Amino acid sequence: MINQSLTTAELRKINKKFREKDESHLWPVCNKFNISERAIRKARLYGPYDSAFEYQTVLEHITSTIVNDPKNF
């Protein structure tokens, strides 16, 4: 089995893409934090990742969890 872990360059590219797509600043009630930054910090706790797909999936799941958490309102 070949170990094809996620490279730092791939990780940075994905993080940049998530930061560019972030719209948390558009919602005044939720303007307390940046959702993408919070998701990226949480995803670092779960690593390392084997692929870019796996990392993106984890980021999307964490982002969805943050957005839908009633404690954030």
Overall pTM surpassing 0.85 (yes/no): no
Instruction: Report whether 18 contacts 59 (CB < 8 A).
Output: yes
Supply 12's token pair: 């940075």
Per residue, the 3-state secondary structure of the chain, as one string, reads: CCCCCCCHHHHHHHHHHHHHHCCHHHCHHHCCCCHHHHHHHHHHHHCCCCCHHHHHHHHHHHHHHHHHCHHHC
Q: Above 80 in pLDDT, residue 25?
A: no
In this prediction, residues 4-23 reach a mean pLDDT of 88
pLDDT (tens digit, 9 = 90+) per residue, 39-55? 999 999 988 888 999 99
pLDDT of residue 31: 56
Lowest-confidence region among 1-5, 16-20, 59-63: 1-5
Residue 12: pLDDT band by 50, 70, 90 thresholds?
very high
CA distance 33 to 9: 26
